[in-house]
Structure 1
Amino acid sequence: MQTARLRAFSLIEVMVVIVIIGLLAGAVALQVSGYMDSAEINRAKSDIVTISDALDLYRLENKRYPTNEEGLDVLPLKNFKDPWGNRYEYNSPGPDGEPYEVVSYGADGREGGEGTDADIYSWQVREAAEGG
C-alpha cells in the first residue's frame, strides 16, 4: 500500500509569493496615483475655463471685468477652490495685454513648481484649447 506524501509550501516559497504580490500592488498603486494627479490637473484646467466663461459673462453684463479688489467673489461661483483646496487667483489686467489672468498655484499652493505643484494659468489653458 502506498502512502500519500503530503507536500506543503516552504516558508521561502510563501515569502517569495508575498513579495511578488507586494510588488504588483505597489505598481498598481503608482499607476493609480499617476491617473489621480492627471485628473486633478485636468479638473483645474476645466475650472479655469468655467471661471473664464463666468468672467466673460460678467463683462457682457457690466461692460468691464472685475477689478482686483472685487476679484472672483463678484461671480456666482462662490468659494470656488482648485482640486487641492486653494482659491484661484485673479489678476486684472493680465500679462501681455490679456484682460485678466486666472491662476491655480498647484498642489503646493505656491508660485512655481513642477508636476502637480506646477502653476496653471488661464493663458496656458486658452493656448492649449486653440491648439497653440
Structure 2
Amino acid sequence: MKNSIVHFVSKIKNGRHKAIIEAPFNAETWEVAQALQRGGYIRAAAIDDNTIRVLTKPFAIQDIKLLSKSSRPVFTDIPKYCDFIDQKLLWTPEGIFWDFEARKKRLGGEVILRIR
C-alpha cells in the first residue's frame, strides 16, 4: 500500500470533526476520496492547486482503521457477505471499491481500510 493513502487516512481520522480537510494530491488518494464520497462518508472532494480538499459530514465516520500495511498486506477473495456495520474498502485490479460493490462485480483484492 502506498504511504500517500496511509497519510490521507490518518488526516481523515484525525480531522473527522473539522469542516474541511486538506491533503496532498495523488491519484490513489483521489480515488479513495471519491470512494468515501460514494459511500456517503464525506460531502464532497475537490482538487485545488495540487491538494485535495474534503468537506466532511459531522459524525459520519465513527472509526476508520487501516487493515493493510506495506509490511503486511491483507488480501481477500470475493466478499461472502456484506457487513453494514463495518464496511471495507478494497483495492482491486479495476480500481478502488467498497466490499458490496466488489461483490457485485465479483472482484477480490487488497483490503485497504475498515470504516464505521
TM category (shorter chain) comes to 0.3 to 0.5
User: What is the TM-score with the length of structure 1 in the denominator?
Assistant: 0.30
Q: If you compute each CA radius of gyration, which structure gives the higher value, 1 or 2? A: 1
Which structure shows the higher strand fraction? Answer: 2
Higher relative contact order (CA 8 A, sep 6+): 2
